A and B are shown apart, each in its own frame.
Chain A
Amino acid sequence: EVQLVESGGGLIQPGESLRLSCAASGFTVSGNYMSWVRQAPGKGLEWVSIIYSAGDTYYADSVKGRFTISRDNSKNTVYLQMKSLRAEDTAVYYCTKGYSLSHDAFDIWGQGTMVTVSS
């Protein structure tokens, strides 16, 4: 079964760091483009970051310089390292798999992991 399971969320103070993990099963993360999308409480979806199969990475302006996406092919896992966290980073973070039939769509989503930035 094709599945994504996120972990690593929690309550953290402003300015601190956190790393989210996304374990994939049923496909290889190295063979697909993978992305993180977040959703603040009661708000809409916001694209955060993407890593392509070739390894190139891109970020939304709101997180550029603070967040880093990476993957470990041996663990079939994608990560999102978050630094200098702010209150406005509070959200459910979803890991997504790129749809193979499209240049830009996401067909598999994890259940999400909640990140709360508060003192």
Chain B
Amino acid sequence: QSALTQPRSVSGSPGQSVTISCTGTSSDVGGYNYVSWYQQHPSKAPKLMIYDVSKRPSGVPDRFSGSKSGNTASLTISGLQAEDEADYYCCSYAGTYTRVFGTGTKVTVL
């Protein structure tokens, strides 16, 4: 159950787009369409942003989108806003009823 690999940080100016990658293996990301993404502001609980690779829960802005290719999932934030500055974690089902989180990515709005 090794953590999925994410870049430590990404940054962008307001209005720009940023993409966060989440790399796993064929036993997790590549094997199932159950990748979710969570946003966490400092000292706050995580918030679900994307589920089942590319679906958005009600209330999440459509600036957030998800995709997957092979063993790598991605979260794209379009039209970056100041309130998007936070840590982001991917999570994938890994079989036998277990799941694994990513290492986390800090998004900085310049």
**Chain A residues near B40 (CB, 8 Å)?**
45
The contact of A109 among B46, B55, B98, by CB within 8 Å, is: B46
Chain A, 96-119, CB within 8 A of any chain B CB: 99, 101-107, 109-112
The contact of B57 among A37, A52, A107, by CB within 8 Å, is: A107
Total contacting residues, chain B, CB less than 8 A:
27
> Which of B34, B45, B89, B97 is packed against the most chain A CB atoms within 10 Å?
B45
**Chain B residues near A46 (CB, 8 Å)?**
3, 101
Chain B, 14-61, CB within 8 A of any chain A CB: 32, 34, 36, 38, 40, 45-48, 51-52, 55, 57
The contact of A110 among B3, B45, B51, by CB within 8 Å, is: B45
The contact of B36 among A60, A62, A94, A102, by CB within 8 Å, is: A102
The contact of A45 among B46, B93, B96, by CB within 8 Å, is: B46
**Chain B residues near A61 (CB, 8 Å)?**
1
**Chain B residues near A37 (CB, 8 Å)?**
46, 101
Report whether A104 and B93 are in contact in the complex, using a CB–CB cutoff of 8 Å. yes
Determine whether B99 belongs to the interface, using a CB cutoff of 8 Å to chain A. yes
Determine whether B100 belongs to the interface, using a CB cutoff of 8 Å to chain A. yes
Say whether, besides A61-B1, A99-B48, A107-B48, A44 and B89 are in contact (CB < 8 Å).
Answer: yes
Supplied contacts A102-B34, A104-B93, 19 more A-B pairs, CB within 8 Å: A44-B3, A45-B40, A45-B46, A46-B101, A50-B97, A60-B98, A61-B1, A94-B45, A99-B48, A101-B55, A101-B57, A102-B36, A104-B32, A105-B36, A105-B48, A106-B36, A106-B38, A106-B48, A111-B45
Q: Which residues of B contact A (CB under 8 A)?
A: 1, 3, 32, 34, 36, 38, 40, 45-48, 51-52, 55, 57, 89, 91, 93, 96-104
Q: Which residues of A contact B (CB under 8 A)?
A: 37, 44-47, 50, 52, 56, 58, 60-62, 94, 99, 101-107, 109-112
